[in-house]
Structure 1
Amino acid sequence: MKRSFLKALFACALYLTAGTRLFAQDFNVTAFGAVADTTKLSTAAINKAVDACYRNGGGRVVIPAGNFKSGTIVLKDNVELHLQRGAVLYASTRHADFPAQQRPEYRSQKDPGGWYAFIYAVNAKNIAISGAGTLDGRGASQSPRPGLPQGDLDGRPRNVLFISCQNVSVKDVSMRNAGIWNQHYLNCEDVIVDRINVYNHANRNNDGIDIDGCRRFVLSNSIIDSDDDAIVLKSTGSAGCSDVVITNCITSSYTNAIKCGTESTGGFKNITISNCVVKPTKSKEPPIFGRTNIGITALSLEIVDGGIMDGVNVNNIVIEGTECPIYVRLGNRARKYMEGIPTPPSGTMRNVRISNITAYNTGNYCSSITGVPGALIENVSVDHVTFRNAGGLKSGEYIARHDLVSEDEKGYPEPTVWKALPSSAFFIRHVKDIALSDIVLASEKPDERTAVIAVDVLNLSIERMRTLSGAVPEVQLIDVKQARTEPGLKRRD
C-alpha cells in the first residue's frame, strides 16, 4: 500500500514537472535572430520570440548576457521578459523604431494620440520583467517628434509602459536613462514591483516610477534616483489609485522624492507609504529642469484636478536634504484629462496620517498643509516628527506675514510658489480637524520665524512640541476655532 502510494506520488511529480516545462518554456532571443551587437537592431527577433512564447502558452523570453539594441517590444499574455545577469538591452534612438501605438480604449491626459515606449503592453495579463540585467533607454539621445505637442507629450519613449494590464510583476532589473518617464503603469491591477534599481538623469521629465490610476499595487525594496519626481502616484484619467503599498525604498530626486499628484482626477484611496529613506541624488550633473540641487520636497500629497484623497498613511521616513520635508495641498487647478468633458469640481482630501518622520539638512521651505477657501482638508494627524532646517534667514528673506501668502489655488502645486514662508515648521491654512503632537524642532542657525502658523482652521490640537534645547516654540493662530494647546505653549492669537 505504501509502495503504491509512493509510486503514484512520484508519477504525479513527474507529470507536474513535465507540465511546468511544457507551459513555462524559455525562448532565447538569439534563436530568433537577435545579436549581441549594438550596431544591429534586434527588434524583430525579440518580438518574434515574444510571439512564439505567447503562442505556446507562455514562458520566458530570455535576453542572454551581452549588449543588444531594440525598438519597441510588445509583451503579450503570459510572457516574461527575462534579462540575464550581464544582459543590457539598449533602446534605439531612431524615431522609426518606436512607432506610435494604437490609441488604447483607456484615455489619459498624458496620451499624445498614440503612445511611444521601449517595453509596451496593453490589456495584457500575467506579464513580467525579471532578471539581473539592465534596460537602458539612451534617454539623452531621445528627441521630441515633429508635429507633436511640446512638453511631456512630445513622443519621447518611456522605458516601460503598461496600460490596462492585470497581474504584472517587475523584479530585480536595473533601469536607466529613459527618454521621459522611466516606468508608467496606467490603469493596471495587481502589480508587484520589487528589488528594482532605477537611475534616470538623461532628459526632461525623467520620473523614476509613475503609478497612475492603478489598483492593488506594491512597490518594495527598490532604489530610485531621478532628475524629476522619483516615486509618483498619479491619476491622469478617470481611474484612481487605490490599495497601494510603497515600502522599504530609497529615493532621490532633484524635484519631489515621494509624491501623490499633480494629476488627481480619479483620486487616491488607501495608500500606505512606510520605511523609506529620502536622500540627495548621487548624480554629479546639475538638474536638467534647473531646480534645486537638494530636491524640492520629500513628501507631497496633492489634490488639484478634482478627485478624492481618502486614507493615506505615511510612517517611518528618514529625510536627508530637500528644501521642504512635507507638502500637503488641496488646490483647484481643475485641469481636464481630455477634451469634451466637464471641468472637475474642487476635490476632497481627508484622513491623512503622517508619523515618525526625521528630516535633517533641509532648506527653509517649511512644511505646509493647505486647502483653499471653500475646500478644507479634513482629519489630519502629524506626530513624532523631528525637523532640523538650515535656519539663518533674516527679515526680507522670507514672506513677512501670513496674509501675504498667496492662495494660488489655480497654480502648479509646489512649495516653490511660496519658497520661505513666515513659519519655520508648519504653515496650516483652510483645514478642519488637525492634530500635531510630539514635534521636535531645530535649526543649523537660529531661525527667527514663528514655528507654526495656523489660519482659518477648525479644531486644532498641538501637544508636546519642543526645540532640541527644550524651549517651547511660538505658535500663531489666526481665525482658529476650537484650538487646544498644552499649557505653557507660546501663543499669538
Structure 2
Amino acid sequence: MRFLLIIIFSTSILSVFANEYNVMAYGAKGDGNTIETQAIQNAVDACHKTGGIVVFPAGKYLTGTIYLKSNVTLYLQKGAIILGSTKMADYPENLPEYTFYRSGKIKRALIYAENCENIGISGEGTIDGQGNMIYKANGEAVKSYGERPHVIWMVQSKRIRINGIKLQNSSLWMQHYLACENLHIHNIEVYNHCNKNNDMIDINGCKNVIISDCRGDTDDDGITIKSTHAKPNENILINNCIISSHCNAIKCGTESNTGFKNIVISNCIIRPSQKRDVIYGKPDGISGISLEVVDGAKMDGISISNIVIDGPRVPLFIRLGNRARGYDKNLPKPQIGSIENITVSNITAFNADITGSSITGIPGHMVKNISLENIRIFYKGGGTFEDANRLIPENESDYPEATMFDKLSVYGLFIRHAQNISLKDVEFHLQSNDKRPALYLENVENVKIINLQAGIDTNTSLIYGKDIKDIFIQNPRPKSQCLSSINIHGNQSESIRLTDIHTKYFKTIYKISGGANKKSVMLGTLFK
C-alpha cells in the first residue's frame, strides 16, 4: 500500500509541476478552419527548451506536419481534435538518415519525430488524419504509396509513450515506429478505413516494446511487427488488446529482413470488423495470427497464448519462404531465414472457413520447435474428396498470405517441411461435413500428437502423413468412426508409433499407401 501511495503521489507531483505550454497561447485558434501548423510548432519548440507538455484544449486544430522534439509530450484534452491538413503542401518531405527498405519512398507524416528521447502523445482527444481527402495543388487526390503521409511516424527515437488517445483516418499506416526503443502504447483506440494500406500499428525493427489495452479496427493489418532494416525486433509484449482487421489481425512479417526475437502475445480478442465494405482483404479478415519469414530474417522465441479469434478465414498461419527481398540494394541478396521455438497455447477460434490453417517451410529449410497446446478451432467445413487429393504447390517465392495455397488438402492443419513439432490437446470441430483429413503431415520429423480430437468423414483418415519420420501419436479421438487413425504414404516414412488407440473409432487402425512400409509402424496399447 505504501508503495502504491508513493506512485500516486509521485504522479501527482509530476502533473502539477510539469511545464505546460498551451497552444492557444502561441496563436492557435482551434476553429477547425485556420491552419495551425506554425502555432503548434512554436509551442513544441518552446516546450523542448524546458521539457514538458504541449496542451490542446477542446477544439479542432487543422495542421500540417508537427515535428515532435525531445522531452515533449502532446496532451489532448477531452474534446480536442487534431485534424490533418487536406493539402499535400502542408506535409514537407522528411528523409531519415537511417537506411530502411522504403528510404526515399516514404517521406511524410502528420506527427514526425527523429532521434528524439522522452516523447509522447496522450490525453482523451482525437487525431484525425483525414486521409481520404488529401490533395495536391492542382486538385488531384494524393494516391501513390510514397506520397501519402502516416499519422504518426517516429524514427530512431527512445522512451516513447502513446496513451489514451483515439486515432482515425490515416492516408497510409496509422503509426510507424522505425528502429525505436522503449516504446509503450497503452489504451489507445484506432479506426482506419479510409484508404489503402490502412494498418493500425507497425513496429519496424524496434526493441523493448509494450502494446497493451488497445482497440483497433482497420482495413489493412492490425498490429504488425516487421523488419525492413539492419536492426531486429526484440523484447516485444502485446497484451489485452481487441483487434479487428480486414487482413491480418496480428502479424510478424511480411517484411522480414533481420529478425524477430523474444515476442509475447497474450490475452487478446480478434473479432470481425464493424466496417463491412473492404478496400483490401475480407470483411471478417484473412488471418487471426500470421508469423512470416520470407526475406532472410531469423524468428526465434515467440509465445502466443490466451487468444480468442472470431471471423478470420485462417486462424493460424506460420510460413518460412524465400521471397528474398533486401532492404538495401547495395547489400547481397538475403539468404533463406529461419523460424524456430514458437509456442502457441490456449487458442479458441470460431467461424474459420474452408481454407485451413498451415505451418510450412520449404524444401531443405524446415520450421523447427513448434508447440501447439490446448487449441480449439471451429471450421465451417465443406471440403470435397477432390480437395483432399489436391497437390499443394510450394510457392517458395510468393508473397506470404494465409490463403496463398487456396483450399488446402486438409481442413484443420497442414504441416510441411517441419521438425520437432508438438500438438497436445488440439481440437478441430466442423459445422458441416468435410471429406478432407483433419491433419496433414509431409516431410516432417519428430512429431508428437497427443489427444487430437476432430470431426471427420466416415471414409476419411483422421491424419494423412507423407514421407514422415519419428512420429508419436497417442489417443487420437475422431468425433465418430472414420477410415483410420492415419494414412501413411511414401517410401521415406519410418518410425511411426501409435498408442492408446481406441479401435472402435477406426475401421482400420492405420492405412499404408504409396510405397510406405508396414514395418515402419509400431503399435502400443489398444482399447476396444
* TM-score, normalising length: structure 1: 0.91
- 1:345 corresponds, among 320, 335, 341, to 335
Q: Check whether the contact 1:280–1:321 (CA below 8 A) recurs between aligned residues.
A: yes
State whether structure 2 residue 372 is matched by structure 1 residue 375: no
With over 3 angstroms needed to count, the CA separation of the structure-2 counterparts of 1:414 and 1:54, relative to structure 1, is same
The corresponding residue for 2:523 is: none
Counterpart mapping for 1:406-485 below 5 A: 406-467=393-454, 474-485=462-473
Q: Check whether the contact 1:210–1:231 (CA below 8 A) recurs between aligned residues.
A: yes
Matched residue type, 1:400:
N
What is the rounded CA distance, in whole Å, between the counterparts of 1:113 and 1:431 in structure 2? Answer: 37
State whether structure 2 residue 59 is matched by structure 1 residue 66: yes
- 2:229 corresponds, among 207, 230, 237, to 237
Which is further off, 262-271 or 134-143? 134-143
The corresponding residue for 1:195 is: 187
CA RMSD of aligned residues (A): 2.3
The corresponding residue for 1:491 is: 486
Counterpart mapping for 1:252-267 below 5 A: 252-267=244-259
Name the SS of the counterpart of 1:38 in structure 2: strand
What is the rounded CA distance, in whole Å, between the counterparts of 2:149 and 2:426 in structure 1? Answer: 44
- 1:302 corresponds, among 278, 285, 292, to 292
Deviation for aligned residue 1:115? 2.0
What is the rounded CA distance, in whole Å, between the counterparts of 1:142 and 1:428 in structure 2? Answer: 45
Deviation for aligned residue 1:250? 0.3
What is the rounded CA distance, in whole Å, between the counterparts of 1:273 and 1:111 in structure 2? Answer: 30
What is the rounded CA distance, in whole Å, between the counterparts of 2:166 and 2:75 in structure 1? Answer: 12
With over 3 angstroms needed to count, the CA separation of the structure-2 counterparts of 1:337 and 1:144, relative to structure 1, is farther
With over 3 angstroms needed to count, the CA separation of the structure-2 counterparts of 1:162 and 1:225, relative to structure 1, is same
Matched residue type, 2:33:
T
Matched residue type, 2:487:
R
What is the rounded CA distance, in whole Å, between the counterparts of 1:33 and 1:350 in structure 2? Answer: 55
Counterpart mapping for 1:41-440 below 5 A: 41-55=35-49, 57-101=50-94, 103-113=95-105, 115-142=107-134, 153-284=145-276, 286-289=277-280, 291-396=281-386, 398=387, 400-401=389-390, 404-440=391-427
Deviation for aligned residue 1:446? 1.0
1:403-433 CA distance string (max 9 Å, x none): x211111110012221210101110000010
Matched residue type, 1:297:
S
1:241-262 CA distance string (max 9 Å, x none): 1000000000000000000000
What is the rounded CA distance, in whole Å, between the counterparts of 1:169 and 1:304 in structure 2? Answer: 31
1:67-96 CA distance string (max 9 Å, x none): 110000011010000011101110001111
1:309-364 CA distance string (max 9 Å, x none): 00000000000011100000000100011221111100011000000000011211
Which runs of 5 or more residues in structure 2 are unaligned? 1-10, 478-484, 489-528
Deviation for aligned residue 1:394? 3.1
Deviation for aligned residue 1:283? 1.1
What is the rounded CA distance, in whole Å, between the counterparts of 2:190 and 2:13 in structure 1? Answer: 37
Matched residue type, 1:26:
E
Q: Check whether the contact 2:298–2:339 (CA below 8 A) recurs between aligned residues.
A: yes
Matched residue type, 2:328:
M
Name the SS of the counterpart of 1:450 in structure 2: coil
1:100-139 CA distance string (max 9 Å, x none): 01x2221111333562000110000000100010000011
Provide the identity percentage.
40
Q: Check whether the contact 2:87–2:137 (CA below 8 A) recurs between aligned residues.
A: no
What is the rounded CA distance, in whole Å, between the counterparts of 1:20 and 1:457 in structure 2? Answer: 58
1:271-327 CA distance string (max 9 Å, x none): 00000000000114x1112x3221100000011000100000000000001110000
Name the SS of the counterpart of 2:30 in structure 1: coil
What is the rounded CA distance, in whole Å, between the counterparts of 2:445 and 2:21 in structure 1? Answer: 63
With over 3 angstroms needed to count, the CA separation of the structure-2 counterparts of 1:200 and 1:399, relative to structure 1, is farther
Deviation for aligned residue 1:37? 1.7
Name the SS of the counterpart of 1:156 in structure 2: coil
Name the SS of the counterpart of 1:139 in structure 2: coil
Matched residue type, 2:305:
N
What is the rounded CA distance, in whole Å, between the counterparts of 2:137 and 2:407 in structure 1? Answer: 39
Equivalenced residue count is: 468
Deviation for aligned residue 1:216? 0.2
Which runs of 5 or more residues in structure 1 are unaligned? 1-15
Q: Check whether the contact 2:425–2:450 (CA below 8 A) recurs between aligned residues.
A: yes
1:31-85 CA distance string (max 9 Å, x none): 1111112221000000000000011x21000111011100000110100000111
Deviation for aligned residue 1:178? 0.3
What is the rounded CA distance, in whole Å, between the counterparts of 2:469 and 2:78 in structure 1? Answer: 61
With over 3 angstroms needed to count, the CA separation of the structure-2 counterparts of 1:243 and 1:488, relative to structure 1, is closer
Deviation for aligned residue 1:392? 1.9
Matched residue type, 1:491:
I
